[in-house]
Amino acid sequence: MILIVDSGSTKCDWMPVNENGKQLSEKIRTKGLNPAILEQTELRIRILESKELINYKNDVTHLYFYGAGCGTEQPKQALKDVLSEIFTSAHIEVEEDTMAAVRATINTPAEAAVVCIMGTGSNCSYYDGVTLHQRVKSLGYSLMDDASGNYFGKELIRDYYFNHMPEDIKIAFEHKYNLEADYIKYNLYKQPNPNAFLAGFAEFMILNKESKYMKELIKRGLRLFAKNMILQFKEEVKTVPVHFAGSIAFFTQDEIKEIANEMGFKVGNFERRPIEGLVKFHTAKL
């Protein structure tokens, strides 16, 4: 059995397939496994909470894990160690989530492209057809992650508390979420995954994206992301497409295309969930 895994900070999808790419069961979902913000004990607990994964653990021969927080060696190795303890018979590979986005969005294996992730977090890389290049090292959700779910969630909460929201949006926001200051601070400063907590508010933006306020909020975040991340590859985007993966990108396609026209880059493909493309990629190589 082969397990293809696509993990963000919020959720983690596990796809069990055979060597021909045939899906062996329903996709398994666990909590997100971000080794940059979770200790090994918590990573282990989140995996072992799944009865399906426990049932499969001795049958897995190959495990290909792509995840947020796996872009630097120390957290990447920490997660690999946990996976090796559980899936003792498996060949295990751990890659950053950007590589999952690359392999899921490019049209051919050797296609050069700039590839962006906009989900709970955000990132951007240049793939030359062989190697992934990143010129800006991510410092995580509190300093970077423009145009991500956690970025937009933070902006919504700030606008609510600074009274920058239109009254009708503010009332709807109050009805949908617990916005008490103590509750928000508890989740931000005393609970794991504050980035995922913030990203949970971004659904409200998507559901109300036709309002003028939301359109301006979305475009402001996208301009920041394009300026800081996409245009670090300003020479490359003259000749290659810019692909996007992640739910935030998928649901803001129209706004992304507007910003692309404004800032001079060519939009390529959108992939909400990369895991289906990853199954094709890995089973073709067996």
Query: In the predicted model, what is the mean pLDDT of residues 198-207?
Result: 97
The end-to-end CA distance of the chain, in Å, is: 12
Residue 177: name the closest of 192, 161, 191 by CA: 161
CATH of 2-101+274-284, one of 3.40.50.300, 3.30.420.40, 3.40.50.2300, 3.30.420.10: 3.30.420.40
Confidence (pTM): 0.81
Sign of the four-CA dihedral 13, 196, 215, 264 = negative
Residue 121: name the closest of 187, 206, 39, 34 by CA: 34
Please give the residue that has the higher pLDDT: either 102 or 137.
102
Using 50, 70 and 90 to split pLDDT, how confident is the model at 11?
Answer: confident
Q: Per residue in 230-261, pLDDT tens?
A: 999 999 999 999 999 999 999 999 999 999 99
User: Which pLDDT belongs to residue 275?
Assistant: 83
Residue found by looking up tokens 């692309």 in the block: 260
- Given a contact cutoff of 8 angstroms between Cβ atoms, the answer to whether 86 and 47 are in contact is yes
Residue 140 has pLDDT above 90, yes or no: no
Share of the chain above pLDDT 90, in %: 78
- Given a contact cutoff of 8 angstroms between Cβ atoms, the answer to whether 149 and 119 are in contact is yes
User: Which pLDDT belongs to residue 124?
Assistant: 93
Domain ranges of the chain: 2-101+274-284
User: Which pLDDT belongs to residue 254?
Assistant: 97
Residue 285 has pLDDT above 80, yes or no: no
Residues paired with 25 in a beta bridge: none
Could you tell me the CA-to-CA distances from 81 to 44, 94, 160 in Å, in that order?
10, 10, 42
Query: In the predicted model, what is the mean pLDDT of residues 142-155?
Result: 95
Q: DSSP label at 61?
A: S
User: Which pLDDT belongs to residue 280?
Assistant: 79
Using 50, 70 and 90 to split pLDDT, how confident is the model at 286?
Answer: low
Q: Per residue in 29-81, pLDDT tens?
A: 999 999 998 999 999 999 999 999 999 999 999 999 999 889 889 999 999 99
- In this structure, the strands spanning 2-7 and 11-17 are antiparallel
